[in-house]
Amino acid sequence: MEALKTRILNEGQNLGRGILKIDSFLNHQLDAELMEAVGSEIARQFSHTNPTRIVTAEVSGIVPAIMAGKALGNIPVVYARKHKPITMMEPVYIDAAPSHTKGGEVMLMISPEFLHASDRVLIVDDFLASGRTIDALARIVQNSGAVLVGIAAVVEKTFEGGRTALAHWNVPVFAAATITDMSDGKIVLA
Amino acid sequence: MEALKTRILNEGQNLGRGILKIDSFLNHQLDAELMEAVGSEIARQFSHTNPTRIVTAEVSGIVPAIMAGKALGNIPVVYARKHKPITMMEPVYIDAAPSHTKGGEVMLMISPEFLHASDRVLIVDDFLASGRTIDALARIVQNSGAVLVGIAAVVEKTFEGGRTALAHWNVPVFAAATITDMSDGKIVLA
């Protein structure tokens, strides 16, 4: 997606250690039209897999996920919670992933109310880096008995190996923008 | 908004102590089209105030806020972070609000990069209950030198007094659905 690449090149900051700051349109401030375009592109890539539900993780996956859900015919979008709210009382699917930008480990929780064995699930997240957050979401999908049909990210950093780490799921993986190199302060897009 | 009221009556659960569980379309699972309709209604109510930016708080304010931002001509949406990410390095506007559903106090942080003295700000959140989260967001807006032009919520619980607590800001307050009574397990909509 050229519009997204241009925004990354113009506004992205390489903070070192593979950390890309794109707070001006994805991770703190949001650009609705850009995210809608990303959602439409994700829908175009995965409509043939007939997803019935999108799974993402709070916080920054939510907006690309809702835009993809809308573009796929308003299929429901469920976001894994990282902090148990008081409204989450019943047993939940839970898994853990290391946090790249916050340090430590985060728990990901999804209520069985909103993830069924009959579902065909597309996972959408903001970044595909090491793949460990998405891998945890995929394990939750597997535990629910649902079928994982695809994985989509707004931005992939190929040099962190996530695509290889997720290959065992044997589903199509798509990123709307792909960064191949962030060494020496560079931001190199494919 | 009749569609929203119907969903609250059909799917909402009164958990007691004023806590409304509407996880099926707002707080865990999301319905994109319903949220788009809410965003359009918020835009209709506030377009005359000429907002240049929407401010919300993660997590559940984000989707109604992005839909309102889109309907208001793609104005930028900034969400206050509750946990400092590694990409937030510079000084930030910060304020505190008690958490209704998680207990304790949460910090709300917005980078000055995305909130300017020249802005006209519409605050959008999921719930207007005690008003304390929105009050904290309004203080951040005030501290930035921006002008607060309005406050919108998806659901207001009138019996928690938030509208009165926010009256000192002297801006229009709108809720897409209004709950007047949750005593004795009831959910009474205005």
For the cut 80, the answer to whether the pLDDT of residue A100 exceeds it is no
Tokens 């903001």 -> residue: A126
Range list of H helices, chain B: 2-11, 32-46, 62-71, 132-144, 162-165
- Tell me the shortest Cα–Cα distance from A68 to chain B, in angstroms: 9
Which residues on B lie below 8 Å from A23 (Cβ)? 87-88, 111, 113-114
> Containing domain of residue B36, as a range?
2-189
Q: What is the pLDDT of residues B105-164, one digit of tens each?
A: 999 999 999 999 999 999 999 999 999 999 999 999 999 999 999 999 999 999 999 999
Q: Per DSSP, which regions of chain B are E strands?
A: 13-14, 20-21, 29-30, 53-57, 77-80, 93-98, 105-110, 120-128, 147-157, 173-181, 188-189
Token digits of residue A5: 């690449």
Mean of pLDDT over chain B:
96
Are B32 and A66 a contacting pair at CB < 8 A?
A: yes
CATH of the domain at B70: 3.40.50.2020
Q: Are A102 and B19 in contact (CB under 8 A)?
A: no
Contact A134, A163 (CB under 8 A): no
Number of folded domains that form chain B: 1
Contact: A86, B78; criterion CB under 8 Å? no
Q: Confirm if B174 and B146 have CB atoms less than 8 A apart.
A: no
Q: Is A114 on the interface with B (CB under 8 A)?
A: yes
B15: Cα separation from own chain's centroid? 21
Res. A154 pLDDT band, cuts 50 70 90: very high
Q: Alpha-carbon distance B64 to B59, whole Å? A: 11
The arithmetic mean of pLDDT across residues A153-173, rounded, is 98
* Lookup: tokens for A18: 């593979």
pLDDT band for B104, please (50, 70, 90 cuts). confident
Residue A73 sits at the chain B interface (C-beta within 8 Å): no
* Contact indicator for A2, A174 with CB cutoff of 8 Å: no
Asked if residue A99 has pLDDT above 90, the reply is: no
* Interchain CB distance below 8 Å, A15 and B86: yes
What is the C-alpha to C-alpha distance for residues B146 and B150, in angstroms, rounded to an integer? 12
Q: Kindly provide the ipTM of the predicted complex, given to two decimals.
A: 0.96
pLDDT of A103 above 80: no
Which of B25, B87, B88, B111 is most worth mutating to test chain A (most A CB atoms within 10 A of its CB)? B87
Looking at chain A from residue 75 to 104, which residues have their Cβ under 8 Å from any Cβ of chain B? Answer: 76-79, 81, 83, 85-89, 101-103
Residue A101 pLDDT exceeds 70: no
Which residue from A minimizes the CA distance to B30?
A77
Determine the residue among B40, B66, B82, B111 to mutate to test chain A binding: the one whose Cβ has the most chain A Cβ atoms within 10 Å: B66
Contact B79 A59 (CB under 8 A): yes
Question: pLDDT tens-digit profile of B155-188?
Answer: 999 999 999 999 999 999 999 999 999 999 999 9
CB-count burial class (<10 Å; 0-12, 13-18, 19+) for A189:
middle
The answer to pTM > 0.80 is yes
Task: Kindly state the greatest CA–CA separation across chain A.
Answer: 48
Q: What is the pLDDT of residues B65-103, one digit of tens each?
A: 999 999 999 999 999 999 888 888 889 999 999 876 667
DSSP H or E segment with residue A36:
helix A32-46
pLDDT digit string, tens, across residues A37-87: 999 999 999 999 999 999 999 999 999 999 999 999 999 999 999 988 888
Inspect the interface and report whether the beta carbons of B29 and A62 lie closer than 8 Å. no
Instruction: Write out pLDDT tens, residues A173-183.
Output: 999 999 999 99
Burial of A20 (0-12, 13-18, 19+ CB in 10 A): buried
Inform me whether the C-beta atom of residue A30 falls under 8 Å from chain B C-beta atoms: yes
Dihedral angle computed from the Cα positions of residues B162, B164, B166 and B168, in that order, rounded to the nearest 10 degrees:
-170
What is the per-residue pLDDT for A102? 66
Among B29, B53, B94, B119, the strongest candidate for a mutation testing the A interface, having the largest count of A CBs within 10 A, is B29
**Cis before residue B59, ω within 30 degrees of 0?**
yes
